[in-house]
């Protein structure tokens, strides 16, 4: 691949864990790599499309959302630089069940894993380690979707807000942070009514749990609202 890639961004992705710079470039070259650039609000892929390649976001950000039979938009995930999209579709050859839209100027590296998975071309230990990482990445995506399903069917609006804000706290390492979503996007992500969510935020503010100004939040409790659940694979 002639284009120079940001190896720091790639190494932050689970797919390239425990690989040297040279090994990252080597395994990428076996997967017909190519990059695409998207302007803000451009649709990257639509619900129902085939998505035969894994996409690694090099810069920018995307939203993954699903529109149900009633026309309600449900925000499934928010991805940024270093994140991966399309793992389940590329590995399982399933059609997408989400629409992917760029929320900023975005560049994505696309990689075909079909040759490694189905055409018996594994010839190097680096390729085997990549597939091991891919297996963990698919498992992690499955775990994320399972937890999101549990949240959507079992929890109150407040509990969903608490879990989301706690996750942002752990990610930022600070009780003060800026979330990457506006109010409507946050409601769509949590699968709740926007007005009900806004009312609950105001109640939490009035109870002294937090402060907020648009997308900026400050948790006022001494401990995080929800304990962080570490990923066991991050220790390896």
3-state secondary structure of 169: helix
Q: Which two tokens stand for residue 111?
A: 């990689």
pLDDT at position 188, please? 92
Lowest pLDDT segment from 8-22, 23-37, 65-79: 65-79
pLDDT (mean) for 205-227: 88
Q: At what angle do helices 194-206 and 183-190 cross, to 10 degrees?
A: 100
pLDDT at position 2, please? 55
Lowest pLDDT segment from 3-7, 27-31, 78-82, 107-111: 3-7
Of 7 and 151, the structure prediction assigns the larger pLDDT to 7
Q: Report the number of secondary-structure helices (H) and strands (E) in the chain.
A: 8, 11
pLDDT (mean) for 6-21: 90
Q: What is the pLDDT of residues 131-151, one digit of tens each?
A: 999 999 999 999 888 888 877
Q: At what angle do helices 183-190 and 157-172 cross, to 10 degrees?
A: 110
Lowest pLDDT segment from 167-176, 197-206, 218-227: 218-227
pLDDT (mean) for 3-15: 86
pLDDT (mean) for 206-215: 95
* 39-70: burial string, b at 16+ Cβ within 10 Å, e else: eeeeebbeeebebebbbbbbebbbbbbeeeee
DSSP secondary-structure letter at 70? T
The chain-wide mean pLDDT, for the chain, equals 89
CB 6 within 8 A of CB 83: no
Q: Which has the closest alpha carbon to 79: 61, 65, 55? A: 61
Q: Which two tokens stand for residue 94?
A: 């399933």
Tell the burial category of 208 from Cβ atoms under 10 Å away from its Cβ (0-12, 13-18, 19+).
Answer: exposed
CB 105 within 8 A of CB 111: no
């Amino acid at each position: 691949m002639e284009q120079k890639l940001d190896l720091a961004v790639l190494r932050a992705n689970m797919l390239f864990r425990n690989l040297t710079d040279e090994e990252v470039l080597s395994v990428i070259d076996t997967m017909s790599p190519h990059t695409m650039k998207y302007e803000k609000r451009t649709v990257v892929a639509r619900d129902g499309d085939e998505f035969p390649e894994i996409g690694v976001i090099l810069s920018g950000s995307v939203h993954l959302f699903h529109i149900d039979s009633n026309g309600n938009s449900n925000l499934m995930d928010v991805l940024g630089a270093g994140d991966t999209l399309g793992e389940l579709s590329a590995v399982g050859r399933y059609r997408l069940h989400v629409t992917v839209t760029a929320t900023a100027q975005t560049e994505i590296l696309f990689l075909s894993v079909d040759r490694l998975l189905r055409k018996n071309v594994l010839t190097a230990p680096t390729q085997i380690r990549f597939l091991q990482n891919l297996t963990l990445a698919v498992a992690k995506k499955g775990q994320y979707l399972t937890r999101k399903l549990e949240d959507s069917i079992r929890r109150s609006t407040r509990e969903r807000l608490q879990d989301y804000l706690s996750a942002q706290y752990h990610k930022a390492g600070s009780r003060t942070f800026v979330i990457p979503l506006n109010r409507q996007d946050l409601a769509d992500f949590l699968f709740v009514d926007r007005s009900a969510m806004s009312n609950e935020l105001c109640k939490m503010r009035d109870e002294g749990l937090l402060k907020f100004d648009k997308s900026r939040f400050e948790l006022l409790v001494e401990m995080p609202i929800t304990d962080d659940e570490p990923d066991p694979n991050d220790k390896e």
